[in-house]
Amino acid sequence: MKECVIVDGVRTPNGRAHKDKGWFRNKRPDELMTAVYTALFERNKQVRPEDVEAVFVGTAAQVGMQNDIGRLAWLAGGFPESVATNTICQQCPSGMAAVEHAARAIMCGEGDIYIAGGVEDMLHVPMGYAMDFPPRLSERYSMADIPMGATAEKVAQLYNISREDMDNMAFYSNKKAAAARDQGKFNNEIVPVEGEQEDGTKFTVDRDQWIRDNVSMEAMATIKSPFKEDGVVTAATSSPLTQGACALILMSREKADELGCQYHLKYKGGVMAGCDPTVMGIGPIYAVKRLLERTCVGVDQIDVVEINEAFASQSLACLRELGLEKNAPFEKTNLWGGALALGHPLGESGARIIITLNNIMKTERPNARFGLATLCGGFGNGNASLWERVN
């Protein structure tokens, strides 16, 4: 089998999905997606759009402005009609599924150059928009247990995750994200995009909007759960509603060498695992266990972890059950912060964490061998992918 390497990865800054305050409130998700497609080709002149075998794009809600967004953003951006696109839905892991589709196609020899990424605009296409659940589902599950916040509360209870540990995770997520931003660590992945301040002034957005600079344990302790009477999951320990897009160039190693492209990581493997949708947040436990078994890599060999912080409760439960880490601040997990601070544009995040993992392993942990990226998804989907340093 061929080897698949990451040649480049970029993302838009994450904007707040708010109709009055969001910096990208007047941007459409296809515009954000086109911005990352464009940036990839501008940064990698040796890669011609017409030489791309196919484009895979993840999005959690393929409806309205996000209907077949991978294709429509490609065409609207002026890219060649001859290149096929495939918009993929696996709820939050959609972007990771897109990357895995490309990696597997490369390894099987179906093609040498792929674009993969994800996009979500939770302002214009709100979570659950136009959702029509099969009535029969209620014969199997209590529908009150299916919404994301309810699952996060249930996981906190089942895995005994304390409110204090969740607040602590949110605190460090924001601190680490702010430090990474201030030290310019996101500069290699963020593509500046024009946005608007609250008063309508246009400006070039080059940083994530959600990061809270004045986060404090005392203030967080006062917030009530919006999900459950006397619940423990709050706005601070939930990923906020976000707009954002990202994309990577994935290539066979031979092609990357032929074109003179630099790379640091290769795809070692990926696993999608299903679980009970009422505790969807623990999906990574199943996916990561199976992934490590199949790739014969031990938990202690994982040097860097990116786990999507959909909720503090579920990410802490996963990290603990997998024996990766116990409590924030972590030693190898989400070193530049996570979704609690950066935001979580659903179908984008699975690809975004791979981009960040790649950048962390290139710069901050250059000797790290294995990097793990994993996330949960609504209705019980876990996804995990393992990446290995090649040089």
Ligand X SMILES: CC(C)(COP(=O)(O)OP(=O)(O)OC[C@H]1O[C@@H](n2cnc3c(N)ncnc32)[C@H](O)[C@@H]1OP(=O)(O)O)[C@@H](O)C(=O)NCCC(=O)NCCS
Q: Give the DSSP H or E segment for 101.
A: helix 94-107
Site string for ligand X, 354-383 (x = CB under 6 A): ------------------------x-----
- Let me know if 376 is a catalytic residue: yes
- Let me know if 344 is a catalytic residue: yes
CA separation for the pair 166, 371 (Å, rounded): 24
Shortest CA distance to 3 belongs to which of 189, 264, 246, 357?
Answer: 264
CA separation for the pair 37, 22 (Å, rounded): 22
Site string for ligand X, 147-176 (x = CB under 6 A): -x---------------------x------
Residue 284's identity, in one-letter code, is P
Interacting residues with ligand X between 93 and 122 (CB under 6 A): none
Position 89 contacts ligand X (CB under 6 A): no
Position 221 contacts ligand X (CB under 6 A): no
Which listed residue (92, 125, 273, 351) binds ligand X by CB under 6 A?
92
Sequence-distant (≥ 6) Cβ neighbours of residue 218 within 8 angstroms: none
Name the active-site residue from 92, 246, 261, 275: 92
Measure the CA dihedral 104/107/113/116, to 10°: 20
Name the active-site residue from 4, 275, 318, 376: 376
Number of residues that bind ligand X (CB under 6 A): 19
Residue showing tokens 């659903």: 346
CA separation for the pair 308, 341 (Å, rounded): 11
**Helices and strands counted in the chain (H then E):** 12, 12
Q: How far is the CB of 319 from ligand X (least distance, A)?
A: 16
Position 316 contacts ligand X (CB under 6 A): no
Which listed residue (11, 25, 154, 212) binds ligand X by CB under 6 A?
212
Which listed residue (34, 66, 90, 239) binds ligand X by CB under 6 A?
239
Other CB atoms within 10 Å distance of the CB of residue 65: 18
Position 298 contacts ligand X (CB under 6 A): no
Residue 206 CA, chain-centre distance (Å), reads 18
Sites of contact with ligand X (CB under 6 A): 92, 148, 170, 212, 215, 219-220, 223, 226, 235-236, 238-241, 310, 344, 346, 378
Kindly list the catalytic residues.
92, 344, 376
